[in-house]
Structure 1
């Protein structure tokens, strides 16, 4: 696969809806039945719907409201007060920001705010680079990367994006060896 730059001009708080199959890939490896899951970048709840259908109790929040109301409006990156919400897992497709800076901060805060599983859908090369070593190589909670073998259609029209993606998963305890996994549409 070739990665090419997109000519798409992004807008602030733009909605990027995660196709259900991408969340289903995560759940094949990490079931969520019975867990209380916080989806803090919920958008229109496509990911939350898949998590709920898999048996999770899902609490949604986001910085903006699109077509569906959230349990609470909450700016995960810029909250002036740390929202003390107890959950078993944080699972989301966070905003990436320029140079993935927002995604890095999102990962740091998610790991800090959740003692359980944290699963973030990010670009496939997100784990590259020495400035992210604290999230992966030096982070004993990092347990798995799940490479998506299909590209996601962010517009929901069947046209795939120009970038490869993967799930990055941190667990509730220390792991000695992270696993590399793969998943595709089924």
Structure 2
């Protein structure tokens, strides 16, 4: 596949809905039954719905409300840790990327700081290539897996796929001693 520039004009707090199959790919490798999950960029809850269907207790937040209300309105990048969120076993989300993936880097850093359990972020497939991100991958003992998506996501929900490849990046609890794993998943 060739990555081409998108002609899509981005707007602040734009909604990128994650197709359900992308969340199901993560859960094939990392089941969530019985754990508590914070979905801090919940959008319209497509990811949260899949997590709940698979047995997770999910708390949702986002910077704005789209069509479905969240448990709380919360700016993950600029807010302090909310008490109700501090006892979650996992953070699983498709965070905002921002210019040059800067928001995604900050989101990953904050997620790892705020959650001692599993952190799973849906990001661009080349997100781990940046030398300024070694602290998240190469030099991070919590980094445990990358799951490359073999199909492209349709962000508009109309069946037309995007122009970028994506992957799940998964970090586990502190103290892991096993090397990271490379995995793949399709619809």
Q: TM-score, normalised by structure 2?
A: 0.97
Q: In the alignment, what sits opposite 1:68?
A: 68
Q: How many residue pairs are counted as aligned between the two chains? A: 184
Kept in 2, the 8 Å contact 1:42–1:48? The answer is: yes
**Once the 2 structures are TM-superposed, how far is the Cα of residue 129 of structure 1 from its aligned partner?**
1.5
In the other structure, the counterpart of 1:98 is 99
Counterpart for residue 176 of structure 1: 178
Confirm whether residue 109 of structure 1 aligns to residue 107 of structure 2: no
**For 1:24-79, what per-residue CA distance to the aligned partner results, in whole angstroms no more than 9, with x for missing partners?**
00000000000000000000000000000000000000001000000000000011
2:82 pairs with 1:83: yes
User: Helix, strand or coil for the counterpart of 1:51?
Assistant: helix
Alpha-carbon distance between aligned partners in 2 of 1:48 and 1:74, rounded to the nearest angstrom: 16
Contact 1:33–1:54 (CA under 8 A) maintained in structure 2:
yes
Where do 5+ consecutive residues of structure 2 fail to align?
none
Provide the rounded CA distance (Å) in 2 between the counterparts of 1:166 and 1:129. Answer: 15
Using structure 1 for the length normalisation, give the TM-score: 0.98
Residues 109-148 of structure 1 mapped to structure 2, 5 A cutoff: 109-148=110-149
| Corresponding position: 1:16 with 2:16 | yes
Unaligned runs of 5+ in 1: none
Cα displacement string for residues 107-164 of structure 1 (whole angstroms, at most 9, x for unaligned residues) = 0000000010000000000000110000000000000000000000000000000000
Runs of 4+ in structure 1 off by over 3 angstroms are none
Q: State the match for 2:55 in structure 1.
A: 55
RMSD after superposition = 0.7
Q: Which residue of 1 aligns with 2:30?
A: 30
1:4 is paired with a residue whose SS is: coil
SS of residue matched to 2:162:
coil
> Aligned equivalents of 1:78 and 1:10: distance in 2?
20
